[in-house]
Amino acid sequence: MQSYPRLNLADVYAVVSRYLADPAPFEDYLRTYDEAAEESRRRIEAIQGPRGKIREDLLTRAKARDLLRDQAGR
């Protein structure tokens, strides 16, 4: 709450109390958005392909670029 000056303590306690009294609606809400995010990820990967090796690909490209730059400087 200290990081969000617009919140007041009474509202925070009200939300926590509501969640503790009946967490199901909160869990349903979060599950719905997690499923939507997963579906979005699947659609993006279907278009772009999996990006599991993106870091290695970028490092390889950077090394190749540096090598070309070094060769051009000779």
- Per-residue b/e over 16-29, b at no fewer than 16 CB within 10 Å? eeeeeeeeeeeeee
How many domains does the structure of the chain reveal? 1
At residue 74 the predicted structure's pLDDT band, cuts being 50, 70 and 90, is low
What predicted TM-score, i.e. pTM, was given to this entire model? 0.52
pLDDT attached to residue 61: 92
pLDDT attached to residue 47: 87
pLDDT in tens, 25-56: 999 999 999 999 999 999 988 888 766 778 88
Residue 21: inside a domain: yes
Residue 2: inside a domain: no
Residue 3: inside a domain: no
Cα–Cα distance between 15 and 9 in angstroms, integer?
10
Q: Which domain holds residue 58?
A: 9-73
| Cα 12–Cα 15–Cα 17 angle in degrees, nearest 5 | 105
pLDDT attached to residue 22: 97
Residue 37: inside a domain: yes
